[in-house]
Amino acid sequence: MGLNLKGNLVVENQAKQKITKDQVTSNTQLTQKEIEFVLSKLRLANYTGSEFELFYIVFTKLTNLIPKK
C-alpha cells in the first residue's frame, strides 16, 4: 500500500520511511484536532457503572486541554 503525498505516490520502503520519520519528528503533545477526535470517539461509546466515572474524568481532562477561545 502506498501514500499519496501532495500528488506523489510513495510506495513500500519510501512510504515506511516517511511514516517513521513523521512519527519520530512529531511532537508528543496532542494537538487540538487530535483531542477533539478522541473526545468525539469517547462520546460514541457505551459506558456502564464505574466505566462512566472514568470516562467522565478522562473526558473532563481532555476538554480542559483544548485552548479557550
pLDDT at 3 over 60: no
- Burial class of 57 by CB neighbour count within 10 A (0 to 12, 13 to 18, 19+): exposed
Same domain (yes/no): 39, 20:
no
Considering the domain architecture, whether residues 41 and 20 belong to the same structural domain is answered as no
Residues 40 and 60 in one domain: yes
Are 19 and 44 found together in one domain?
no
Assess whether pLDDT exceeds 90 at residue 16: no
Q: End-to-end distance of the chain based on CA atoms, in angstroms?
A: 40
pLDDT of residue 24: 55
Say if residue 22 is in the same domain as residue 39. no
* Residue 17 grid coordinates: 520511511
Q: Which of residues 68 and 32 earns the better pLDDT score?
A: 32
pTM of the model: 0.57
Distance, CA of 59 to CA of 69 (rounded, Å): 19
Q: In total, how many domains does the chain have?
A: 2
Q: Which domain holds residue 50?
A: 32-65
